[in-house]
Amino acid sequence: MRDVANGNRRPAARSREETTSGLSALTSVPIARGERFGSLLRGNRLRARLTQDDLAELSSLSTRSISDLERERTSPRLRSVVLLAQALKLTGSDFTQFLHASGFSSQAPAVSTELHGPLAGPRNVPVPGPTPDCVADGPPGSEEESAAQPHPASVPARGRPAATPPAVAGPAVRCELPACVPGLDAHLQPAAELYGWLGGPPGPPTGRPASVPRVAVVSGPSAVGATTLAVHVAHRLRTMFPDGQIYLDLHDAAGGCMLPAEALARVLRSLAVPGVPDSFEERAAAVRSQLAARQVLLVVDNAASEAQIRPMLTNSQRSALIVVSRRRLVALGCRTVELRELDGAASDRFLRTLLGDRAGQDPAAVRCIAHHCAGLPLALRIAAEWLAVRPHRTLAELAALLADERYRLDRLEIGDLNIRDSLALSHGSLSPIERRVLRALSRIPGGSWASDEVAARLGLADHQTETAAERLVDRWLATVEPAATQGGAPRYRVRDLVRLYELEQPDAPDR
């Protein structure tokens, strides 16, 4: 028996349908407003860490009824909505969303009285108006009937404070977030960490102190999926930030980096601030003022330096900022979520997921393809798409094509997706000496090297090559291996596809 009165309720045995898989809490918890009732019910249940049996006992409904509601085999009744909302302890915006999805929003005052007592009144249960398009078109939650144990970084619905009304009135809310693309499965753990840090209350389990603003940097090598992760998490967070979800790409159309002043002006225009100031200082102050007064989610992609981001930082926790960069922006002092290449087993699993049933035709070729993609989700996705549009080509054929290093980057291209463009962004901001060192390192046989070896080859001082090598590591173009002996010099290694890209480049000394 469960001891509910003493707070020692022991979860019931999970239903068979709920133990078939362990999906991530991030992909199991639908957050976007405008959800169908069944999906929303399931998401709230998982965020509360309840099985269908648990919720049935708390709500006095049957497990079968809850299962049918989640599968949308039946329509909810008002009494069931009230009982479920009570059992899930939904309040504020969570309750409003739940009631709206059930179709009983017109009876909000009566439901509010039943839930919260006669003094609560309808003001605690506002009837939502038309849902903005930017909130309604988000990615749906998983439709599979498998219960997931939420990651510790996930945010229980009952612990999240109700959203407060926007402090600054303005025109229609803008949602500029790009559409989600496949690839989140490659980084479920970092995604849950990022979601918890930005979307959860201060303190455990997210670990964010109460005085720390909601700012995070997602950093990793080219093609590792940092933007994919940031966009997925942003879509999950967006109902927490009703004053707008802004997406800013700092890599401009001309191939360069957007200047900080122009980036600030772009943010102000997205927030519909009239009369963008002329001076940099006034623009920075205006952006910080808006982010402090309003609930805005800002995603900044392809950040090249701290100078582009620092003017946007504020101590307010009303807004959140996600920065995506191919550099470790450690000088910002913000929470950093680092993504790394998938290991061999993870690459194989991810590619099998993308290929579906076809992966079983030649497991050895799948492993070979995954190896040649160097653990990069974008490369694995391109390989899977290449095979999907060429059903007449075999897995072994693609594995053989990728085995030839001279043409590997040519094969990792389909449509407007290609590895070269991603790698070019990482190379574009290198200094002349960093280019020389990277070029030399890519041509040294044996894989790894020490900075003094490169210095002797290039005729440079040891400290110059060591500094350049460390900067290449910061830009995720090279990795560092621990010294073989105590006090020995570290050895550096250029990442596999970076090396192939570098070998393609012309022999210009100052390139």
Report the mean per-residue pLDDT for the chain: 79
Task: Report whether pLDDT(340) > 80.
Answer: yes
Q: Which 3 state secondary structure label does DSSP give 245? A: strand
Cα–chain center distance at 242 = 19
Residue 495 has what pLDDT?
93
pLDDT of residue 35: 59
Question: pLDDT by residue (tens digit) across 402-456?
Answer: 999 999 999 999 998 999 988 988 887 789 999 999 998 888 766 788 888 888 8
Mean pLDDT (whole number) for 258-267: 94
Residue 164 pLDDT grade (very low, low, confident, very high; cuts 50, 70, 90): very low
Mean pLDDT of 113-142: 35
pLDDT band at 339 (very low <50, low <70, confident <90, very high): very high
Quick check: 380 pLDDT over 70? yes
Residue 502 has pLDDT above 60, yes or no: yes
Q: Determine contact, residues 220/340, Cβ cutoff 8 Å.
A: yes
Give the model's pLDDT for residue 106.
Answer: 64
The helix (H) or strand (E) run that includes residue 282 is: helix 280-293
At 5 the pLDDT is 38
What is the mean predicted confidence (pLDDT) over 213-225?
Answer: 94
State yes or no: pLDDT of 73 exceeds 50. Answer: yes
pLDDT greater than 60 at residue 101 = yes
pLDDT at 57 over 90: no
pLDDT at 99: 82
β-pairing verdict for 491-494 and 478-481: antiparallel
The model's pLDDT over 307-321, given as tens digits with 9 standing for 90+, comes to 999 999 999 889 999
Query: How many C-beta atoms lie closer than 10 Å to residue 78's C-beta?
Result: 15
Q: At a CB cut-off of 8 Å and minimum separation 6, what does 433 contact?
A: 460, 464, 468
Confidence of residue 130 (pLDDT cuts 50, 70, 90): very low
Question: Cβ distance 205 to 152 under 8 Å?
Answer: yes
- Band of residue 92 on the pLDDT scale cut at 50, 70, 90: confident
- Whether 371 contacts 395, CB under 8 Å: no
